[in-house]
Amino acid sequence: MTAATRVLLLAHGSSDQRWCDTFEALAAPTLQSLPEARVAYMELASPTLEEEVGKAVTEGIGDIRVVPLFLAAGRHLRKDVPAMLEEYRQRFGVDITLLPPIGEDPRLGQVLKDIVEGTLEESHA
Amino acid sequence: MTAATRVLLLAHGSSDQRWCDTFEALAAPTLQSLPEARVAYMELASPTLEEEVGKAVTEGIGDIRVVPLFLAAGRHLRKDVPAMLEEYRQRFGVDITLLPPIGEDPRLGQVLKDIVEGTLEESHA
């Protein structure tokens, strides 16, 4: 692992702190395990994506990977976020890669099955 | 497993078929493994939650468990969906349990860590 890569776990953001708390809990194992990972919000909460990109550049990071904490790609991930990232690439002169939303990873489907099975077992216990 | 339980995997819904396709893929392992599971949409796509609750009641199901395919609980899961479910309980005379959004399950945090680690390993290979 080089110090030159930063992973930004991108959540939509909300003015409801409980919503953000869920994302921070979701991100916690990644943040604990990977020192190069941070949470960033698209809107309505901080730190923003823009702030975290700026901070990474200040720290000398040349390669930013954005992992969307979204289950599927809607308008935000198809239009708004790519436009934001293109602006940051030009403004900050940094490589930024937008990865697929986590909901597209087949491992999530397996975990969903485990969760639902667990729910049914509890209810029949 | 009794035939009297139905699990509804509740997604928000979108007019963009690609969005819905991602949720169907996410749900696929659960649907293949659990014959009592179905996908239902809150709005903008079909089948709707209302349609699936009605269908379950017609099939003699007395116990419906709604598993939200959401990462966190915002306004929809705190207000809109509970109000919809309360209406369906009264109208259809059926037990409906709203479970926590899947993003609150600690297993998702572990999978996120695996996904991010995989992304970093690929990029350093």
What residue ranges define each of the domains in chain B, with the CATH number in brackets? 5-123 (3.40.50.1400)
> Distances from the Cα of A33 to the Cαs of A36, A52, B100, B122, in angstroms?
9, 19, 26, 17
Contact assessment for residue A56 and residue A94, using Cβ atoms and an 8 Å cutoff:
yes
Active site residue B12: yes
State both tokens at A59: 């720290």
User: 3-state class of B74 per DSSP?
Assistant: coil
Alpha carbon separation from A52 to A85, A121, B42 (Å, rounded): 12, 42, 33
Chain A contacts in chain B segment 11-70 (CB below 8 A): 11, 14, 16, 18-19, 22-23, 25-30, 33-34, 36-37, 63, 65, 67, 69-70
Average pLDDT, chain B: 94
pLDDT band of B125, cuts 50, 70, 90 = low
A71: nearest CB among B16, B37, B69: B69
pLDDT(A98) > 80: yes
Out of A18, A102, A104, whose CB is closest to B112? A102
Choose the catalytic residue: A6, A9, A10, A12. Answer: A12
Bridge partners (DSSP) listed for residue B65? B7, B97
Count of C-beta atoms within a 10 Å radius of residue A98: 19
Q: How far apart are CA B88 and CA A18, in angstroms?
A: 27
Please state the three-class secondary structure of chain A as a single string.
CCCCEEEEEEECCCCCHHHHHHHHHHHHHHHHHCCCEEEEECCCCCCEHHHHHHHHHHCCCCEEEEEECCCCCCHHHHHHHHHHHHHHHHHHCCEEEECCCHHHCHHHHHHHHHHHHHHHHHHHC
pLDDT at A125: 54
**pLDDT confidence of B1, banded at 50, 70, 90?**
very low
Mutate to test the interface with A, among B63, B111, B114 (most CBs of A within 10 A): B111
Out of B30, B36, B117, whose CB is closest to A112?
B30
Per-residue model confidence as pLDDT tens digits over B73-87:
999 999 999 999 999
